[in-house]
Structures are given as structure tokens and as C-alpha cells.
Amino acid sequence: MSTPRRLVLATRNQHKVGELHAILGAAGLDVDLVGADAYPEIPDVRETGVTFAENALLKAHALAQATGLPAVADDSGLCVDVLGGAPGIFSARWAGKHGDDRANLELLLAQLSDIAAPHRTAHFACAAALALPDGTERVVEGRLLGTLRHEPAGDGGFGYDPILQPLGETRTCAELTAEEKNAISHRGEAFRALVPLVRELVG
């Protein structure tokens, strides 16, 4: 019986590791998936790219080179049509401090306060990259289309989930169950698109 090939996901978020693990398992791929916390000596990579794809590739290549293993990384954010796609890659630090979800949310709602419902279209975008130690790379993308509420609703999720209402839904992402959100999410879509690439390149 062969030993599963190890694959490293560039995150210290175990929920994200679990999500990709479930997707690979459902596809019948026997892969030993671990997060970046399995290699605490490797520092986090600065996201200096100007697109989600560039940032995902930066992280995937850095981890593949540091570990000598195939690596996956993703980058995602909220793109608001009336803002020309912003906050985009700056989603996590829109209000200035990285990861301050409440400040980011409040600033965005203030900026959109005069925008009527028909013009509040937006989408979550995710780029997922697979990189091998030899430099081979692949990138796939996923999107979750929706509109932005004027007020937050729901206690689930994180980031901008309380204000994005997916198309065809009456609830925000923060009001969906984790299973419901994973089934339609931008990251879930990108991770599912990785399956044939992992099968081809990792085995």
C-alpha cells in the first residue's frame, strides 16, 4: 500500500485545511494534507502581489521551495462593482489595520451609504494556486456573486460575510450554515477546481 503524497496548504487556519481535505477526500484523492503550522519555522509570506492570483502564487511557491513539497495557497477578497473592484486585494486591511473585520465593514458601509440597492452588486473572489518545488504552477479561481446589504446581518462567517447576500438568497453569508456557505463559496469553488490539478500533478 503506497503512502499518501503530502500536500501543504499555506494557512494556519484549520477550518480552511479541513475544507480542502474534505473536497480532496470526496474526489477520492488520498493526500496527506497539512497546514503551514506543521512547519512553524517557515515565516509567513508578504502578500506583495497586485492580484489575488499573484498573492496566491507567491505563497504557494515560497512554501513549496521551503518544504520541498507540493503546496497550495489561496488569496481572496470582496470586489464591489461601483468601487471598480475595490477593496479587492486590500479587503483585509481596507480600514488600515490588517484583519480588523469590524472597522473594514463599517468603512465600506459608510463609503456605500448613498448607493441604492440596484447598484450594490459585488462578489467574493478567490484565487487558488498549486505550486511544485520544480517551479510548476497552476492557478484557478472561484467567485460568489451577490449584492451588499445596508446593514450587517448574521453572526456566522467573518470579514464581509454579514453584508454580502448571495444571488438567489434572502440571507447574507453570515446567516448561512457553514455547510450552506461552503457549497457556494468562492473558496470552495476554487478548491474544487484544484482537484483535477492535484490529481494530475501530485497523484
Q: Which of 37, 44, 74, 75 is the catalytic position?
A: 75
Better-predicted residue by pLDDT, 91 or 4:
91
CATH fold of 5-201? Maf protein (3.90.950)
Question: Is residue 83 scored above 60 in pLDDT?
Answer: yes
Q: What's residue 137's pLDDT?
A: 97
User: Residue ranges of the domains in the chain?
Assistant: 5-201
Q: What's residue 9's pLDDT?
A: 97
Rounded distance between C-alpha atoms, residue 75 and residue 118, angstroms: 28
| Residue 30 bears catalytic tag | no
Q: What is the mean pLDDT of the chain?
A: 94
Q: What is the pTM of this model?
A: 0.93
Helix ranges (DSSP H) in the chain = 14-26, 52-67, 101-111, 178-184, 186-201
Rounded distance between C-alpha atoms, residue 101 and residue 9, angstroms: 23
Question: Is residue 103 scored above 50 in pLDDT?
Answer: yes
Residue 147 phi/psi, 5-degree rounding, is -130, 160
Mean pLDDT to the nearest integer, 58-79: 97
Query: Which 3 state secondary structure label does DSSP give 187?
Result: helix
**In angstroms, what CA-CA distances link 107 with 9, 152, 157?**
31, 12, 19
Question: Is residue 161 scored above 50 in pLDDT?
Answer: yes
Write the secondary structure of 7-52 as one string of H (helix), E (strand) and C (coil): EEECCCCHHHHHHHHHHHHHCCCCEEEEEHHHCCCCCCCCCCCCCH
CB 181 within 8 Å of CB 131: no
Question: Is residue 1 scored above 80 in pLDDT?
Answer: no
